[in-house]
A and B are shown apart, each in its own frame.
Chain A
Amino acid sequence: MPMESIAVKNLYKKYKISQRQEGFAGMVKYLFHPQYKEKEAVKGISFSIQQGECVAFLGANGAGKSTTIKMLTGIMKPTEGKISVMGNDPFRERLINAGKIGVVFGQKTQLWWDIPVKDSFELLHSIYEIPDNVYEENLNLFKKILELEEFIDQPARKLSLGQRVRADIAAALLHDPPVLFLDEPTIGLDVAVKQKVYQFLQYINKEKKTTILLTSHDLKDMEWLCRRLIILEKGEILFDDEITKIFDNYPEAETLEEIIIELFNGNTKK
């Protein structure tokens, strides 16, 4: 029986957003009596992911994808609800959780900006306390598949976006995490690099049985990588099923946006 690797129950996240009125009077008023408005980014979602699954998280901008990922990785405290990642509460047991997950944020880098990529990897080697043989094996494998060799001696700031993302993905996987989160890993990449990244992820998912959860706006790209799809819109789950079914349900839809609009309309009618 497959093991459950991620379980989310009734997850809520509310942000406080400061409300400032216009003009000088508004500014003074804000200074003495700041007002906040609450915004619900995630409204009570639940789902569960088995070990070895590869799940795509889709949604428009501001749908709550990144917020959910940030709570799953333990960076952000959920307002309400329960999360378990490999049996740990990510926020309360952040340090334990951190050792069991790999994370890639397409727009950020965990590589040290000013030192060669190779040295960054060495640092991760020590920080995650990766056994030497595992480290060597993984590094050689990633070097080969992701073609890191050509830029591994350069500092991260000198890399192109495609190179940086490849290096970042390798960095996130050096310690053989059972769960991998990717938040828009292919944002801004060209088709060739995108393809390479997806092929690599598929390989990892298959060979190492790594659970993968990735977010994107792009439905077409993920069709062949992930079998399961979760669509978020305005903090709620609209769809959670096999990816093929979405096309059965909406054969005429061309893009994700169309499907989301249709799904959301259907949702409010009920």
Chain B
Amino acid sequence: MRKYLALIKGGFLEGIAYKENFLTGLLANFVQVVVFYYVWKSIFLYHTEINGYTWEIMKKYVIVSFLCNSTFSFGFEMQTANSIISGNIITDLLKPLSYRSLTFFKAVGTAGMEFLITFLWCGTFLVMCNGMQNIEVWRVLLLLFSILLGMGIKFNIQYIFSMFCFYTDNAYGVVKGREVLTNFCSGALVPLALFPGFLQKIVTVMPFSGIVYIPCSIFDGIFCWQKCWEALLFQSVWNVILFAFGSILWKKASSVIALYGG
């Protein structure tokens, strides 16, 4: 147990070492959320309702989707890829810890700090432009729980994609591909409920929806009480599946590690 806490602390310290990075990222994200906010606002000037979404709901969706999407988003695939190419991955493999635990707990340390700060300012932003109306305590609690599960999904997906980096030299393509796929299918850009019929059916059963769409829908009131629990179950099941898949991939990928030179 102590080793995992130490890794979380290490990730946290590393996060602080890169605080400028994080702060500029935060600023860029802030601009993005404001743009989204006003784009939707102007759309809702001409429609009172789109597929069950009113401006009141959409407001919450935009802000919370941002909260879900921006934490744990650093994408450690790039780190993994770089360390494979530079050969530095061997120092990670020499630790008496599985590579997954190592990356996971380090990531938790970094993400913990990110999440806390993003949560605070997203909350402030929401209260500022929405007030406290229509916010229920149980939905907030379920939201936090759901975000946690969503982060698990996100981590597992990133872990799986970072395994692909063992096979390809072009990690940038893999990472970008994953990012686009996640952004599009998770509901970070547009709520999945607004997708056309057949596409909507596909994306809602994919694990990506657990990252943004589910937590948001729990919070903004689109899901009823029962649907909330089903959604949490859905997230949990995907966590288990992706975890198992990641384990299998690691078995395969770790034996192709060929570190030339040195």
Contacts and interface: CB of A to CB of B under 8 A. Distances in A.
Interface of A: 15-16, 66, 70, 73-77, 91, 94-96, 98-99, 101, 103, 105, 107-110, 112, 114-115, 119, 122-123, 125-129, 155, 183
6 contacts: A15-B260, A75-B94, A99-B96, A105-B91, A114-B14, A126-B6
B7 A123 contact: yes
Contacts of A15: 258, 260
A115 B14 contact: yes
* Main SS at interface, chain A: mixed
Given A105-B90, A129-B3, A75 B259 contact: yes
A210 B13 CA distance: 33
A226 B62 CA distance: 66
Given A73-B94, A127-B95, A155-B17, 18 more contacts: A15-B260, A66-B262, A77-B254, A94-B93, A95-B97, A98-B94, A98-B97, A108-B262, A114-B13, A114-B17, A114-B18, A115-B13, A126-B3, A126-B5, A126-B6, A127-B7, A127-B96, A129-B3
A123 B12 CA distance: 12
Given A115-B17, A183-B262, A108 B87 contact: yes
A38 to B, nearest CB: 12
A119 B93 contact: no
B246 to A, nearest CB: 17
B257 A75 contact: yes
Interface string B225-262: 00000000000000000000000000000110111111
A126 B3 CA distance: 5
A95 B14 contact: no
A73 B259 CA distance: 13
Given A70-B90, A76-B259, A109-B91, A115 B10 contact: yes
B258 A98 contact: no
A50 to B, nearest CB: 23
B96 A98 contact: yes
Given A16-B258, A123-B10, A128-B96, A75 B2 contact: no
B88 interface: yes
Contact of B6 (A73, A94, A105, A123): A123
Contacts of B3: 126-129
B262 A105 contact: yes
A74 B18 CA distance: 32
Contacts of A108: 87-88, 90-91, 262
A101 B91 CA distance: 12
Nearest to B10: A123
Contacts of A99: 96
A119 B6 CA distance: 10
Q: Which of B7, B18, B95, B97 has the most CB of A within 10 A?
A: B95
A95 B254 CA distance: 13
Contacts of B87: 108
A126 B2 contact: yes
Contacts of A123: 6-7, 9-10
A66 B261 contact: yes
Interface string B154-182: 00000000000000000000000000000
Q: Which of A16, A75, A96, A129 has the most CB of B within 10 A?
A: A75
A109 B91 CA distance: 7
Instruction: Sort A-B residue pairs by CB-CB distance and give the 9 closest, nearest first.
Output: A126-B6, A114-B17, A110-B91, A98-B96, A99-B96, A77-B255, A127-B3, A115-B13, A75-B93
B98 interface: yes
A128 to B, nearest CB: 6
A70 B94 CA distance: 10
